[in-house]
């Protein structure tokens, strides 16, 4: 990917990381800014997609992969039609993320939302880790199921070391740098 101008070109920001790592928090901030500056953006988060595209799928390796590939299929359709897309999904397996990368091509931007599992478990926003550690929820990524970190994500965000607004700014600046988004002088991010 070079830094030629791509204004009007679609992209997929693919947020991957553990439950509780901060994907949704950062995605929400980025979404708001893109909505203002691009006029629109589509958010495909794990839950929306499980409801609309993957009801009935479970959490086996195969079902997880199928779910991620479906998100990728839709993200690709949108991206190649010039739409900016934010995907927010644990998407724990490297191989299947890389298949999506291959489909979408250079407009695929992998954003690794990284925090140690202990930190995620302590936050436990949805009360899921408690259930995972007690065994009530089986096959829970990071606890009883693997998470494979990206080898070369376009962005690596450590949410235990950085405020969400700073992380979101880095995502937006990435889009500006690679010409997906016009730079705004004196942009007031409050």
Min dist CB 88 to a copy of itself, Å, is 15
Tokens of 16: 């991957």
Q: Which of 88, 91, 149, 167 is catalytic?
A: 91
Q: At what angle do helices 23-38 and 164-177 cross, to 10 degrees?
A: 50
Smallest separation (angstroms) from a copy of itself to the CB of 53 = 6
Positive or negative, the Cα torsion across 34, 36, 37, 40?
positive
Residue 91 annotated as catalytic: yes
Of 55 and 151, the one with the shorter C-beta distance to a copy of itself is 55
Backbone angles phi, psi at 16, to 5 degrees: -120, 145
Closer of 100 and 132 to a copy of itself (Cβ) = 100
Which of 74, 132 has the CB closer to a copy of itself? Answer: 74
- Yes or no: say if 85 and 42 are a contact pair by the CB < 8 Å rule: yes
Cβ 54 to a copy of itself, closest distance in Å? 9
Closest separation in Å from C-beta 69 to a copy of itself = 8
Binding residues for a copy of itself, rule: CB under 8 A, are 40, 42, 52-53, 55-56, 66, 69-70, 73-74, 77-78, 81-83
Q: Select from 150, 160, 138, 127 the least CA-distant residue to 21.
A: 160
Least separation in angstroms between residue 56's CB and a copy of itself is 8
DSSP letter (8 states) at residue 141: B
User: In this structure, what token pair is assigned to residue 29?
Assistant: 């901030």
Residues 6+ apart with CB under 8 A from 121: 20, 129, 133, 143
Nearer to a copy of itself among residue 8 and residue 138 (C-beta): 8
Cα 88 to chain center, whole Å?
Answer: 4
How far apart are alpha carbons 98 and 101 in whole angstroms? 5
Nearer to a copy of itself, 74 or 111 (CB): 74
**Residues annotated as part of the active site:** 91
């Amino acid at each position: 990917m070079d830094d030629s101008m791509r204004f009007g070109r679609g992209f997929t920001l693919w947020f991957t990381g553990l439950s509780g790592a901060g994907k949704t928090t950062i995605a929400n901030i980025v979404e708001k800014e893109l909505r203002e500056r691009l006029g629109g953006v589509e958010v495909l988060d794990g839950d929306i997609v499980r409801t609309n595209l993957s009801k009935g799928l479970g959490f086996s390796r195969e079902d997880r992969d199928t779910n991620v590939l479906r998100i990728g299929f839709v993200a690709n359709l949108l991206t190649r039609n010039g739409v900016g897309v934010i995907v927010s999904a644990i998407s724990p397996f490297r191989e299947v993320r890389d298949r999506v990368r291959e489909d979408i091509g250079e407009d695929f931007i992998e954003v690794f939302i990284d925090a140690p599992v202990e930190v995620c478990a302590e936050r436990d926003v949805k009360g899921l880790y408690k259930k995972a550690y007690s065994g009530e929820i089986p096959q829970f990524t990071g606890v009883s199921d693997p998470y494979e970190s990206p080898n070369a994500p376009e962005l690596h965000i450590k949410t235990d070391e950085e405020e969400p607004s700073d992380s979101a700014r880095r995502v937006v600046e990435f889009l500006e740098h690679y010409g997906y988004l016009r730079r705004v002088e004196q942009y007031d991010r409050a």
